[in-house]
Each structure stands twice: as C-alpha cells, then as structure tokens.
Amino acid sequence: MARRSAGSTLQLGFSMIEVLVTLVLVSVGVLGMVALQARTIQYTQDSEQRNVAVTLANDLVELMRAMPSGLPASSGFYKAPGATFPDKPDSCTPLPNNASQQLSCWADKVKSALPGVVSDDSETDDLLETEFYICRTNKANECTGTGNAVEIQIAWRIREGECMDPNAEDDADSTICRYRLRTQI
C-alpha cells in the first residue's frame, strides 16, 4: 500500500467550475469566428461589386479613347446627372459606330452586371437615371461640362448598411453604393 503524506493531495479530475470556464471560453471563441465569417462574406460581396464597377468604368473609358470624335462636350458619351441614357440600338454586336449608341450598349451591360441598378418596384428610383453620370469636369463630384477631366459615377443598390464606402456622404442613401472614376482622356 502506498502511503500519502499529510501535505500532498491527489487531483482526480476537473472540478465543475473549471469545466464551465472552459465552455465559456470555447463559446466566446466560436461566436467570434462566426461573426468574423459573416463580416468576411459581406466584405467579399462588396469587393466583388466594386471590382465589377471598376471594370465597367474602365470599359467606358476605353470606348471613349477608341472614339475621340465622341468626346466634345455635345457628343454622345456624356450623360448629366438626372438625364436618361440614349435608347438602345437593335444590336450591340458588333458595337455601333455612334458614340451615343455605344453609351447605350454600355448602360445595358451595366444593368446586367450590377445588382439593383434598375428598380423592380415603382417606389424606388432607377439608378441609371438618378445616380449615373458621365461628364467633363475640373473639380471632383461636380459636372460642369467643361474641363480636361472626365468623371464617371456608377451606382448599385444593396441591403441597408452593407456598402463599405468610407467616402459616402452622411446624408446619402445607405442602400446605394457609388463608384467614381476621374481620368483624363
């Protein structure tokens, strides 16, 4: 028989308090991972939509560069805020030779590439009309019709608060994401 000294104790298992503390710590870690996963999905969706917007804006810039005759202020490549896009031609393949028809084909491409650009209900504005613009400008976010830069704004609708735009105005609709490109052509 083994003898125990009076000062030593044997640990035969975990106490209930140790088990509960372990469960709390594991639960907090799992909840943190779930929250992180949800934010990751949200950031990925925003990133994907912004990437599409960047590609569409660059496509339009390349159309403009390929047809410099469409760049004077009164030509077909420009659209003022609140104005409508030109009517779509019968076919966009091959691309028409007219700047306004090319712009219309580009707008049609935007409708299918970004979510919520064209509203399904009558209560929501058509973003192509209200938020999109392509204009000459000297200063950012102002369509003056003059200047040496071209500014393109693209917008799409998302769920409330999901737009990750750090430059959004405080009074802006939080269901609309915007992308602006300023460039010289």
- For residue range 4-17, list pLDDT tens digits in order: 555 555 566 678 88
How many domains in the chain?
1
Report pLDDT digits (tens) over 126-182: 898 889 999 988 888 888 888 888 999 999 988 887 787 766 666 567 888 999 999
Q: What is the pLDDT of residue 123?
A: 47
State pTM to two decimals: 0.77
User: Is residue 49, in this structure, part of any structural domain at all?
Assistant: yes
User: Is residue 23, in this structure, part of any structural domain at all?
Assistant: no
Greater confidence (11 vs 35) lies with 35
> What is the chain's length?
185
User: Is residue 35, in this structure, part of any structural domain at all?
Assistant: no
Residue 140 structural domain: 42-183
User: Is residue 66, in this structure, part of any structural domain at all?
Assistant: yes
Alpha-carbon gap, residue 68 to 86, rounded angstroms: 19
Helices (H), the chain: 16-66, 99-113, 127-130
Alpha-carbon gap, residue 180 to 57, rounded angstroms: 8
User: Is residue 76, in this structure, part of any structural domain at all?
Assistant: yes
Confirm if 162 and 43 have CB atoms less than 8 A apart.
no
Q: Is 114 helix (H, G, I), strand (E, B) or coil?
A: coil
